[in-house]
Amino acid sequence: MGRQSKLTSDLQDVIVKYVKEGNYDMVAAQAAGITRATFYRWIREGKKKQEGIYYDFYRAIEQAKSLGEASLLQTIKLASRRAWTAAAWILERSRPERYSLYRAKQKALDTYKTEILAMLKDGDITQEDVIETVGEELAYELFDRAGIAVARPGKTEEESSVERTGETAEVPE
């Protein structure tokens, strides 16, 4: 027979309480005296099963995350005319896929770059159009991604290639 688990309903309640308050999983586990390895082992076991203490733990943690997020959103709603920025900061960092402005901007920029690359490859726009539209720095980045060799103004093709790749060619003496 195996060793008895450290996971008890009292310990689960403590960890769940911390998670509901908006703490990260690891902070909640460590505050309850549980190591990272143990916490994630319990979560992995819970995901695999459909019943038992690990399943109950996994479900309780998932529910606590949702309740914590809902609570933070409520804080923003209630305090939006005063200092709501602390709750917004927490949401931005704990749920970046939903609340991070940087990630949203980055995703939009990546989409834009992909569209420009496709237009370049299809011949729908010229290199000059791209440089004029997005500026030299971004244009050369796009050219590099597309594998398009372009000499930068005032540089030879070889100098531009070295600048793009960081590699130098052997020059015979």
Mind listing the pLDDT tens digit for each residue in 54-65? 999 999 999 999
Mean pLDDT along residues 15-36 = 93
pTM given for the model = 0.52
Interval 109-128: pLDDT, tens: 788 788 888 887 788 878 88
Task: Return all residues near 9 (Cβ < 8 A) that are at least 6 apart.
Answer: none
Does pLDDT of 142 surpass 80? no
CA 51 distance to own-chain centroid: 31
CA 100 distance to own-chain centroid: 9
Does pLDDT of 166 surpass 80? no
Residues 139/151, Cβ–Cβ less than 8 Å: no
Higher pLDDT, 76 or 23: 23
Q: What is the DSSP letter of 135?
A: -
